Structure 1
Amino acid sequence: MDDETPLRGRVYGTDHDDTHPGPRPGCVYCELVGGPLDGLLLDVTGWDTEQLADGAVLATGIGRYGAGGRACYGPRPGDPFRWDWAGDTP
């Protein structure tokens, strides 16, 4: 997201009791869309172009496979900072 776009929401990986679970200045985020992590922000600060194009497989206990499962997300064509859910994997 560019510096002009205000981001809101919780960052993936922050604790639920974190006093500042939202985005931090100087970081780059992708918004996760759909699936079990819908609405969370993923910190991709420092990721190179190839890593961003690959997307991510993220640990989550609330997906189809429960504890130990993972949710797959990838960049949306034309909007690389919105990552769409592609399904869950064990």
Structure 2
Amino acid sequence: MDDELLRGRVYGSDHEDAGPRVGRVYRELVAGPLDGLLLDVTGWSGEQLAVGAALPTEIGAYGAGGRARYRPRPGDPLRWDWGGDTR
């Protein structure tokens, strides 16, 4: 894991334990409401990694109950780009 990722906060983690852990696999979320957070994708299948995720967030366009969509960036699958918010 590169040094840049080791400094990031992990999506869904408690504030006291928000840093990445050695031995886990992460994707960096780029743009949108979760910009700069790391998503723990440890154990995800190749198909899941190719599709991306719609992550629950209260800070997106739809508030509580909303989701932010992220997909792998073409040519740089370690970074997932925001694709908009959804309910």
Q: Normalising by the residue count of structure 1, what TM-score does the alignment of the two structures yield?
A: 0.90
Letter in structure 2 aligned against 1:67: A
Is the counterpart of residue 24 in structure 1 residue 21 in structure 2?
A: yes
Which runs of no fewer than 5 residues in structure 2 stay unpaired?
Answer: none
Which 4+ stretches in 1 moved above 3 angstroms?
none
Is the counterpart of residue 51 in structure 1 residue 62 in structure 2?
A: no
Report the equivalent of 1:63: 60
Secondary structure in 2 matching 1:73: strand
- 2:38 and 2:29 map into 1 onto residues whose CA distance is 6
Q: List per-residue Cα deviations over 1:48-74 (Å, max 9, x = no partner).
A: 111100100000000000011000000
Percent of pairs identical after alignment?
73
Structure 1 residue 29: Cα displacement:
0.2
Structure 1 residue 85: Cα displacement:
0.1
- 2:45 and 2:63 map into 1 onto residues whose CA distance is 30
Letter in structure 2 aligned against 1:23: P
- 1:85 and 1:26 map into 2 onto residues whose CA distance is 26
- 1:69 and 1:47 map into 2 onto residues whose CA distance is 22
Structure 1 residue 9: Cα displacement:
1.1
